[in-house]
Amino acid sequence: MNGGAATLAGPEPLIDVHAHFLHAGTGRKDWEAPNRARLRAGERIGITVHVASTLGSWGHSSPTYFPSPADASAGNDAMLALQKREGDRVRVYAAVNPNDTSHALREIERCVERGAVGIKLAASRRADDPLLDPICELAARRGLPILHHIWQHRRREWPGQEASDGVELGRLAARHPRVQFILAHIGGGGDYRHSYVAVRDLPNVLLDLSGSGVDRGMLDDAFAAVGSRRLIWGCDVTMETGLAKLRALEVIGLSAEQLGDVRWRNAARIFPPGSFPMLPRVER
């Protein structure tokens, strides 16, 4: 841990709702280095919990965004093992490919039984496709939030993925009002303002601040669009931008209460009760 040293983001709880880890089956010889770096940077920033997923084999034996059932399960197993090793500072999304519906449903149940607290859907199938409905129905029954990969204002097909944008996720969210959806990485590429308008009137969609993009105006506009109760902090694959955004949120004028919502309370509200035992209880 951090040895009691002051953390860069201060002592308040902090939940990263969009983290990833690698594993031995991803084909990268240095797979442990980014994992160590994430935990190291997390300690320095002051991240209380990394809520994380592994997208199958990250392209090694099946495509990152179209993982085979075997790779999806192997990735989830690696994440569950990491959670067991790291204790309360790592929590797991069950990452599934909805094209293999039966496997996806079984896999979510299997992972939840072993401690997963949410579902990760990436870009295997368009978000508004009916094939996602059984997964959302399961999420509603189990009280699991869904983190959905989003290409902000997708204007064409992109290779290697069947990406969705805010409008498409909005259709899914409207069909499943009991499920909390996390619209992934507003800084992850594309026009985030398109997403803001697309989901502004959908109270069950939260905007995840992660991504390498650090456009000035992006946070101000997100706050104006949905308010602090629907913004949720995360890093994805660039943790320095996560820290920069925390610092910028203070500059743009969020109150301490609002910052607390973004840092951890919104996450504590949407994940199943007991997901973060080290944190104070919050009103849901």
Partner 1 sequence: MSGEVDVNALIGPYPFRHVPHPDPEVLVRVLAREQLRGAWVGHLPSAWYRDPAQGNELLFAALADHRALLQPVPSVRPDWPEWERALRDAADRGAVAIRAYPPQWGMAPHDAAMHRLAAACAEAGLPIVLTVRFEDLRQRNHLDVAGDLDPAAIRSLVRSSPRVRVVVTAAGRETIEFVHWGLAPAERERVWWDMSWIWGPPEDHLAHLFRTIGAARFVYGTQWPMRLTQAPRANLDLLPDELRGAELADADLIARGAR
Binding site for partner 1 (CB under 8 A): 8, 33-35, 37-38, 40-41, 44-45, 151-153, 155, 189-193, 212-217, 220, 237-241, 243-245, 247-248, 251
Q: Which residue number, 137 or 221, has a Cβ lying nearer to partner 1?
A: 221
Q: Which residue number, 27 or 177, has a Cβ lying nearer to partner 1?
A: 27
Rg of the chain (C-alpha set): 17
The H-or-E segment that residue 19 falls in is strand 15-20
Q: How far is the CB of 18 from partner 1 (least distance, A)?
A: 13
Residue among 66, 201, 203 at smallest CA distance from 121? 66
Q: Which residue number, 67 or 213, has a Cβ lying nearer to partner 1?
A: 213
236 is written with which tokens? Answer: 């994805």
Q: How far is the CB of 13 from partner 1 (least distance, A)?
A: 19
Q: Which residue has the tokens 């409207």?
A: 174
Residue among 47, 50, 52, 51 at smallest CA distance from 2? 47
Q: Which residue number, 65 or 107, has a Cβ lying nearer to partner 1?
A: 65
C-alpha to C-alpha distance for 128 and 148, rounded to whole angstroms: 11
Q: How far is the CB of 181 from partner 1 (least distance, A)?
A: 21
Q: Which residue number, 96 or 163, has a Cβ lying nearer to partner 1?
A: 163
Q: How far is the CB of 131 from partner 1 (least distance, A)?
A: 26
C-alpha to C-alpha distance for 166 and 205, rounded to whole angstroms: 10
C-alpha to C-alpha distance for 39 and 44, rounded to whole angstroms: 9
181 is written with which tokens? Answer: 């959806």
C-alpha to C-alpha distance for 143 and 40, rounded to whole angstroms: 31
Say if residues 27 and 54 touch (Cβ distance below 8 Å).
no
Q: Which residue number, 129 or 221, has a Cβ lying nearer to partner 1?
A: 221
Q: How far is the CB of 240 from partner 1 (least distance, A)?
A: 3
Return the ∠ at Cα 146 (arms to 150 and 80), rounded to 5°.
Answer: 110
The H-or-E segment that residue 44 falls in is helix 32-45
Q: How far is the CB of 61 from partner 1 (least distance, A)?
A: 21
Q: What is the DSSP string of 159-197?
A: TT-----HHHHHHHHHH-TTS-EEE--TTSSB-HHHHHH
Q: Which residue number, 23 or 103, has a Cβ lying nearer to partner 1?
A: 23
Q: Which residue number, 5 or 81, has a Cβ lying nearer to partner 1?
A: 5
Q: How far is the CB of 39 from partner 1 (least distance, A)?
A: 9
Q: How far is the CB of 31 from partner 1 (least distance, A)?
A: 11
